[in-house]
Amino acid sequence: MNNLFLTFALGVSLTVAMAAPATVIQNATILTVTKGAFTGSVVMQDGKILEVGEKVKVPQGAHVIDGTGKYVMPGIIDCHSHIAADSINEGAVSVSSMVGIEDVLNPTDIAIYHALAGGVTTANILHGSANSIGGKCTVIKTRWGKDAHDIIFEGSKPGIKFALGENPKRQGNANPFNSTAPRRYPATRMGVEDVIREAFVEAQIYRQTWKDYNAKVAKDEAALAPRRDLKLEPLVEVLEGTRLVHAHCYRQDEILMLLRVADEFHFKIRTLQHVLEGYKVAKEIAAHGAGASTFSDWWDYKVEAADAIPYNAAIMMKKGVLVSLNSDDPELMRHLNDEAAKTQKYGGLTETEALSLITINPAKQLMIDKRVGSIEAGKDADLVIYDKHPLSNYAKVEKVFIDGTLYFDRDKDLTDRPVKAQEKQTLLDKEKKNAPAGMRRPS
Amino acid sequence: MKRLLCLLAAVAGFAAAQPPTAIAIQNARIIPVSGPAISRGTVILRNGLIESVGANAAIPADAWIIEGEGLTVYPGLIDALSTVGIPEPPPPIVAPGGGGGQRAAALAAPPSATPPARGPEDRPNTTSWQKAADLIRLTDPRIETFRSAGFTTAVTFPTQGIFAGQGTAIDLSGTKPGQMVVANSVGQYLTMLNSGFGGGFPGSLMGTISYIRQIYLDADHYKKAKEFYAAHPRGTPRPEYDRALEGVLESPRILLPAGRRVDVDRMIRFARELNQPALLYGLPEGYRSADLLKKANATALINLRWPEKPLETDPDEIDGLNVLEIRDQAPSTPAVLVKNGVRFAFYSGGLTRRSDLLKAVKKATDAGLTSDEAIKALTLTPAQIYGLADRMGSIEPGKIANLVVTKGDLFDERTQIQYVFVDGLKYEPVPEPPAGPGGPNRGARTPAPGDQQ
């Protein structure tokens, strides 16, 4: 399976590298998200969108795909995912900013392929929510078949996960299943705030230590460089504004708490994640400049997630918050287009507004909107072809391109299935035949 | 001549007590590995070293003669990653991996056990200062089992923990552990151990990776701090002594686990980032990682215990295509690496019986590896990898007299090992221990490096 895909993906990218013939999707409904929708064509070359419009110039030798009756939209961007990684939570400490998803990316996670088949081309892979300050995040493209380093969204801004509420404070309380398990501070929401504040006080001191050292070096004074601290370095980057904060949160009180702490330390929360009570404090969120990445209608899975409404995304959007919808789940990730559609029913968003929740808005939140999130000339050729309008829940993904390369083809997937089943049966038979006598089962 | 042989056999039991000054094995086929085979020649051993070898090597007057007619002489085999000589450790305090870590820790830890680590500063699961040389016990029965299978040398490592400790190359002969040591620190053994969710730090793979990264930054800082203190003792607070960092700094190379292609890729990048010479161990997916290994000019230690269907699985559970393919293809790894020019050595991975080792090597040769290459991966290459090729790994004058003498080709299952020479001492193999329940390779195994990948 892996191998098949490897050769397949390799073959395609090789042809792109050698002769770089263009690919044109013709005569389809193009949902650009930023420049309206129309019947027309998209030209992809060298990984980028060369041209898009009702009439385009088809380059010589271009591979033409007939899009009659089909819909083309920008690749879906999921601002909150936990796929493609060999570990998610470093739960042993309350501040785990020393760890990072990039170290444990697993490009063979089948969830990548499933997400790809659901039209997702970019995902923000976040650390879990076990601690107040979690680990570093990595933005990937769902380039199935590539090695770890090659699925990273090159040039994307680094991020870090924060978490408020029940998850980070849970380990501070007695474990009902194991009374001897060590407890970990904090045990309350107040404690979560304290952990974050203390970490940033530490980071400020650390930053100052290096400043003092550099000043000494500049004056040619003998000095020993401070010890590098992998826990504090990312927090200094947050203070300097070079690392984006994605904060898991639910309740309005803790949302306001975090915004105040950030203001106090002069940094910005880039996105509030889940933020199910965001509709209550949308004005304050907009004033801080934080984005919000929420669910359409997933709630009540724990107490702090009870006071949610399906109008959350629409209300926050109308109050001026930059809003996206995310999955946080490999299954939900496969139909984010359905999730976007729900905001038309609950909140009355337009088609374009609904689509923006899973394309251009998460791109802006992740500060990759110059590259992805809409169909515009010059942007990455990350495109999805649907057989029906993607906001219909009858729509199926037919083809997915990333950087102009075909990474998912529904027809190919269907024809490959019996081949792989046969391959598997052959190996099973071989193993059965070669099993030592004691291992054989009576039939 | 027969009488002489009988005499020799009788003396063999007391070999350690009263070794002859010189031994000559004459009229034997000799496979020096470092050069072409000698179809009929003589090897002369003296004082534990090879004195001379060749078709016409002159036999000194004082040498005991072994008639080698019909026999083949190979360099002694080297187990490139082993725990031989180090008795089984007590169960680890923190169970590796998975969500059960916390409970396992609670059950296993005595009341006085160290509390869970709160961060890298507590140096969790680190015994980097520990040297295999200091842990060797002559009572380990595997010393004799391995020797009887043709191994004269084991590169043996402490294997418990993230920084488990430093490996030692030992010869499998001697009356005191110190006599066995060929090189006392040949590398630091690392695992990606973590305490699982709810245990101490690190509780995840990424925690372990970040911990290792921090340790190397700390080691670098430690070195600088000591230098700075030496230059400015007045007015500088003295740096704290840190045995964990001492152990890391004195290790000439690191061994990193590389189970899947993903791990090969990850560990190649990690070693480069840490700026450490590294050996990757395990490699069941080596056959599909050759491009990465070649590009990185990496060195691999291949586990000869090929992946197989575990006994204790639900018989109705059918493995996925990927798992099935790995089990089918793993033994092709050595042949694929040869084709790609990637340097590798074999390690026993807990196989101690000669018949199991032969079966494992046969799987590799069936998949395209030549037996010359297989011999090399068990002799000269491991010696080169650990920087010991100036003293072992081939039959050349001046090298340590480690030899295997067989009747027939080494990897032929009908072949019997006649003698094993370690440091010039002659041993005759003891009969193989019986296979454990459930067939070959099962049951009687001891935990081995690479088990927990």
Over residues B132-171, the pLDDT tens digits come to: 999 999 999 999 999 999 999 999 999 999 999 999 999 9
Where residue B317 falls among pLDDT bands split at 50, 70, 90? confident
Q: If you average pLDDT over residues B277-281, what whole number do you get?
A: 98
Q: What is the mean pLDDT of chain A?
A: 93
Give B205's contacts in chain A (Cβ within 8 Å). 86-87, 103-104
Please report the pLDDT score of residue B18 as a whole number: 57
Q: If you average pLDDT over residues A265-272, what whole number do you get?
A: 98
Which of A93, A210, A416 should we substitute to test contact with B (largest number of B Cβ atoms within 10 Å)?
Answer: A93
Q: How far is B347 from chain A (nearest CA, A)?
A: 23
pTM: 0.91
pLDDT at B446 over 60: no
pLDDT at A384 over 80: yes
Please report the pLDDT score of residue B100 as a whole number: 36
Closest CB from A104, A147, A224 relative to B205 = A104
Closest CB from A147, A182, A431 relative to B327 = A431
Reported as a single tens digit per residue, the pLDDT across A342-368 is 999 999 999 999 999 999 999 999 999
Written as six digits, the tokens of A289 are 């400049």
Please report the pLDDT score of residue B89 as a whole number: 61
Reported as a single tens digit per residue, the pLDDT across A115-154 is 999 999 999 999 999 999 999 999 999 999 999 999 999 9
Please report the pLDDT score of residue B106 as a whole number: 41
Closest CB from B315, B322, B439 relative to A441 = B315
Give B332's contacts in chain A (Cβ within 8 Å). none
Please report the pLDDT score of residue A104 as a whole number: 98
Where residue B12 falls among pLDDT bands split at 50, 70, 90? very low
Please report the pLDDT score of residue B315 as a whole number: 77
Reported as a single tens digit per residue, the pLDDT across A277-291 is 999 999 999 999 999
Please report the pLDDT score of residue A171 as a whole number: 82
Q: How far is B340 from chain A (nearest CA, A)?
A: 18
Give A147's contacts in chain B (Cβ within 8 Å). 261-262, 265, 292
B317 compared with B394, residue with greater pLDDT: B394
Q: If you average pLDDT over residues B352-356, what whole number do you get?
A: 87
Q: How far is B439 from chain A (nearest CA, A)?
A: 7
Q: If you average pLDDT over residues B346-351, what whole number do you get?
A: 92
pLDDT at B105 over 60: no
Give A175's contacts in chain B (Cβ within 8 Å). 102, 198
Please report the pLDDT score of residue A415 as a whole number: 98
**Long-range contacts of the stretch A351-356 (C-beta < 8 A, 24+):** A351/A31, A351/A37, A351/A391, A352/A31, A352/A33, A352/A36, A352/A37, A353/A317, A354/A391, A355/A31, A355/A33, A355/A73, A355/A390, A355/A391, A356/A33
Query: DSSP of A279-335, one letter per residue?
Result: GGSHHHHHHHT-EEEE-SS---SSGGG-S--TTHHHHHHHTT--EEE--SSTTGGGG
Please report the pLDDT score of residue B449 as a whole number: 61
Where residue B196 falls among pLDDT bands split at 50, 70, 90? confident
Please report the pLDDT score of residue A174 as a whole number: 75
Q: If you average pLDDT over residues A188-199, what whole number do you get?
A: 97
If you measure CA to CA, which chain B residue comes closest to A108?
B262
pLDDT at B111 over 80: no
* Poorest-pLDDT segment among A15-19, A322-326, B256-260: A15-19
Reported as a single tens digit per residue, the pLDDT across A34-57 is 999 999 999 999 999 999 999 999
B5 compared with A378, residue with greater pLDDT: A378
Q: How far is A53 from chain B (nearest CA, A)?
A: 41
B433 compared with A296, residue with greater pLDDT: A296
Asked if the Cβ–Cβ distance from A181 to B102 is below 8 Å, we say: yes
pLDDT at B96 over 50: no
Where residue B290 falls among pLDDT bands split at 50, 70, 90? very high
Please report the pLDDT score of residue B448 as a whole number: 58
Please report the pLDDT score of residue B115 as a whole number: 78
Please report the pLDDT score of residue B11 as a whole number: 44
**Could you give the percent of chain A with pLDDT greater than 90?**
88
pLDDT at A242 over 70: yes
Give B106's contacts in chain A (Cβ within 8 Å). 178, 180-181
Asked if the Cβ–Cβ distance from A104 to B440 is below 8 Å, we say: no
Reported as a single tens digit per residue, the pLDDT across B358-407 is 899 999 999 999 999 999 999 999 999 999 999 999 999 999 999 999 99
Asked if the Cβ–Cβ distance from A104 to B438 is below 8 Å, we say: no
Q: How far is A240 from chain B (nearest CA, A)?
A: 22
DSSP SS3 for A40: strand
If you measure CA to CA, which chain B residue comes closest to A226?
B221
Q: If you average pLDDT over residues A297-317, what whole number do you get?
A: 97
Asked if the Cβ–Cβ distance from A89 to B203 is below 8 Å, we say: yes
Who's near B417: CB < 8 A, 6+ residues apart? Answer: B148, B149, B150, B354, B404, B405, B406, B429
Q: If you average pLDDT over residues A367-384, what whole number do you get?
A: 98
Give A91's contacts in chain B (Cβ within 8 Å). 197-198, 203-204
Q: What is the mean pLDDT of chain B?
A: 88
Give A178's contacts in chain B (Cβ within 8 Å). 102-103, 106, 198
pLDDT at A395 over 80: yes
